[in-house]
Amino acid sequence: MLQPRLNPASCHFSCVQIEIELSSVRTEADFQAWRDQQEWTARKYAMWQAGEKLPSQKPSTLMKCVCVQQFDSHRIEDIVIHVPHITARGGYEIHR
């Protein structure tokens, strides 16, 4: 993967300049949302680099019944409770 070669000092200056220009129209919540997104993106790429999967990419046996309870579809005692709800309403939702 090619990495751009940037001067850290000029990058910092550019980021500060952009932040100053946007500070008149952006709220602190906007900046916090941006920082949170940057943090999540860094964690996501670090997980991928380490060969890990995101929680949403891991298989799960958990299901959400139409009665809004979550249950494990591989446990017979859970299935027996929710089969009447699922068949009466005609469907279920897989919870991941």
The per-residue pLDDT for range 30-66, each reduced to its tens digit, is 889 999 999 999 999 999 999 998 888 878 888 888 8
Average pLDDT score over the chain: 78
Residue found under tokens 């932040």: 19
User: What residue type is assigned to position 46 of the chain?
Assistant: A
Domain boundaries of the chain, sorted by first residue: 62-94
State yes or no: pLDDT of 22 exceeds 80. Answer: no
pLDDT at position 15 over 90 = no
Using the structure block, give the residue that is written with the tokens 């751009």: 4
Those residues with Cβ within 8 angstroms of residue 79's Cβ, 6 or more apart along the chain or in another chain: 71, 73
Q: Where would I find the beta strands (DSSP E) of 1-96?
A: 62-64, 70-72, 93-94
Output the CA–CA distances (angstroms, integers) from residue 29 to 35, 38, 42, in the order listed: 10, 14, 20
Does residue 11 surpass a pLDDT of 80?
no
Q: N- to C-terminal Cα distance for the chain? A: 31
Instruction: Quote the pTM value.
Output: 0.41
Amino acid occupying residue 27: T
Read off the pLDDT of each residue in 6-12 and give the average, rounded to a whole number. 56
Q: 């999540």: which residue's tokens?
A: 40
